[in-house]
Structure 1
């Protein structure tokens, strides 16, 4: 038998770690000298320690390693656990590669414009939401006020309140000078009877590229341009209707209220 200090030198594992493995029940000494308190190990235990270190390198927690050592898993069970670790490792590599692409895109933007962007585009997983809405074609986006008046009047008449920020869905697949297909939406939880004009439906959960615009509606095009540039640089494409979420609505629907706060959300997927 050899003392813990010598066992530490042979295994290249610190005495502190060996004591911790003892406390965890992973690698207990063969005996403990009752006079000196020294932990004593067998040379054959080096193989067990190497198995612990190898499993730790593969990402197993000490609790998992303890179960693996105690249960004496079959080859098939070990293969299954290693396959799971392989999948998890590949996922982490993909996530880090995606993070690297975003860093490179941000650096490229700074080098191209020689300044920080006003907009930080982020990917969000937006939950499904129940909405009451009115959809129609209007000459241009500033003309949607009538749709809002119609929707708000109907909700007030039925004593239904919104439970989150209202938003507009833009259904056109391309930019248009006139005749925009818009749907104004109020998130609700209450039951509401539909009318010929006011509809109730559930919008599905979606992955969104989002940016917040602080300022009047007349400068919203800057945020749209920033999101478009970000999607192109990061390899995303649009897969549905854009949302303008009115976090702090403009006073009286003004197009020039500088205190307005709007979040633009595009449903996206990797191109």
Structure 2
């Protein structure tokens, strides 16, 4: 009765495979590994026969495989006959799955941000015009300025950008050494403390990366930038048409704008990289950046 039900309630490997949505090859491997031995093997044909009671064993093997257990892992559990070992293995696997989910979540956010950068470059906002806008609360992580030669904005943009690029490499190394996911290393902006800003001393005191709420929940050391009223200014190039540092020119324009209207600078300056062109398009870096100064309006 090859493949069918025998008079004593046994059925062949083909039927066993069909009932359990598994291949005959897998059942032979289970037998080879000592996980599931047939109730009988026909001496003449070598054909394997199983019982209905063994279906639950197949279920358990498949469930454990679905959470990442190998057949050797399952064999050790069966041989040990210690339920606590099963719980221990599942707890370890759950921790691993959680870590994988966090990595996938960050990968998803990185993909979304790259797509957003592309779309922003396709439809750029109005540049070179100071705007007053309300910006909601944001999450961010900050880093020190690791390259002393990039501590201050200067008119020599080529020199500054080279030094800033070195600072970015050092920031990336710092993130790696601190155990932070390198997927966060994108669109790194710069900050100027309020005390220096109002003196028009454009000295950088930190770099930063803004985070969405989902990513912020996966990272330690997250800070909050409160909601508020900001003067903002978009720039599409770091060197303006006169060959000057566009960020320095923009900051001066914004501070002039605030003084003329009696606005008070209320906090630190944030130079946010809104979008960067994909690096594979050419060597170097093109970016759309947003200058932001929090202000208190005149009464």
Q: Give TM-score, length-normalised by structure 1.
A: 0.46
